[in-house]
A = this chain, B = another copy of it.
Amino acid sequence: MSSGYNGPPLLDLTIDNITPNTNLINAQCKDARLKYLMSRLVTHLHDFARETRLSTEEWMAALNFLVACGQISSDVRHEFILLSDILGLSLLVDSINHPKPPASTEGSVLGPFHTHDAPTMPNGGAMSTDPEGEPMLCVCTVKDTEGRPIRGVKIDIWETDSSGHYDVQHEGRDETGPSERCVMESDEQGVFWFKAIKPVSYPIPHDGPVGKLLDKLGRHCWRPAHLHFMFDKPGLDKLITALYLRGDPYETSDAVFGVKQSLIVDLDKVDKETASKYDAEEGHWLLRHEFVLVTEKETQDLRDRNAVEALEKLGLRMKLVDHLPVPELD
């Protein structure tokens, strides 16, 4: 053909033949993984339209919803992460990619509010400048599955202020800079300790398309009180998690499905000895927690094993290339 086109002849496409033909033209793709992703995406998308007999008005409403999600997004707001969160996709993708051996700390959703500009803070620093917050001393350790402390782990920590807003949700954040977030490093004993405020439950941003969707679904937009953590050290599986305060009214109805029993914690109060040891005030809230990290290798092996097992169960003949499935015969 004069256009140099080598795909299938695309003519007279119908409800019944559009899917194989779209997959055939996409099969020109040289990247086996992308080809597989696209073929599953197109098949699911088309099956969805066929099963629901999707109307033209619904299709247009969906496309306009997606435009609105893109347009409300910015450097500090990612409406599609939020959408993925409330649809349970974020939790699912995290579970697939970071399976945890029984002895280790479970993961939770990243959410859309992590930033890369948090200040580095030494042990004992205060991550919050909010005078309205209830002071909370946090004393944590990072260990491996054998109970040995791990030093030199970079830990990103972030939470809302006492009004339930992350710094990036406030006007003028460019001038004031980051608040209620910091980056720490575990010491020789695997310890990191800092001063924060007691987390509060808060609504996820609901002034945009995702909030409107939750409303139409009759769902509330609240997350139970929690403190975010991200652990990073070469050789260890990056752990994205959060600790949730027991007894929160949204403990079992988190809008983004993040809560796990093992991540629910009880707060204590700072006693005299602790106050003196950590330069804190007696009677302030106290959070003590031990995080258990696994190696990248352990996680990768477990993820690969789980993938092979799950794909076999689905009856798919796949092989793993760079730890990601592609069709066996292709």
Contact = CB atoms under 8 A, between A and B. Distances in A.
Interface of A: 1-3, 5, 7, 9-15, 18-19, 21-22, 25-26, 28-31, 34-38, 40-42, 44-56, 58-59, 63-64, 66-71, 73, 78-81, 84, 87-98, 216-220, 222, 249-254, 257, 259-261, 303, 307, 310-311, 314, 316, 324-325
Contact of A15 (B22, B51, B96, B253): B96
A38 to B, nearest CB: 7
Given A91-B13, A92-B46, A52 B78 contact: no
Contacts of A79: 67
Contact of A88 (B18, B71, B316): B18
A2 to B, nearest CB: 4
Nearest to A244: B11
A3 B250 contact: yes
The 3 lowest CB-CB distance pairs between A and B, nearest first, are: A70-B70, A22-B88, A28-B218
B63 A22 contact: no
Contacts of A45: 44, 87, 89
A119 to B, nearest CB: 24
B78 A26 contact: no
Given A15-B95, A71-B73, 18 more contacts: A9-B252, A9-B253, A10-B254, A10-B257, A11-B260, A12-B259, A18-B257, A25-B253, A26-B219, A34-B217, A40-B51, A50-B92, A59-B90, A63-B80, A63-B81, A66-B66, A70-B71, A70-B73
Given A55-B324, A70-B66, A325-B53, A91 B260 contact: no
B18 A95 contact: yes
Nearest to A58: B37
A103 to B, nearest CB: 16
A56 B87 contact: no
Contact of A97 (B5, B56, B91): B56
Contacts of A216: 29, 31, 34
B54 A96 contact: yes
A81 B66 CA distance: 10
Contacts of A47: 44
Given A18-B257, A37-B58, A78 B88 contact: no
Contacts of A254: 10
A11 B259 contact: yes
10 contacts: A1-B253, A10-B259, A13-B260, A18-B91, A21-B257, A35-B217, A38-B217, A59-B90, A70-B70, A70-B71
A307 B53 contact: yes
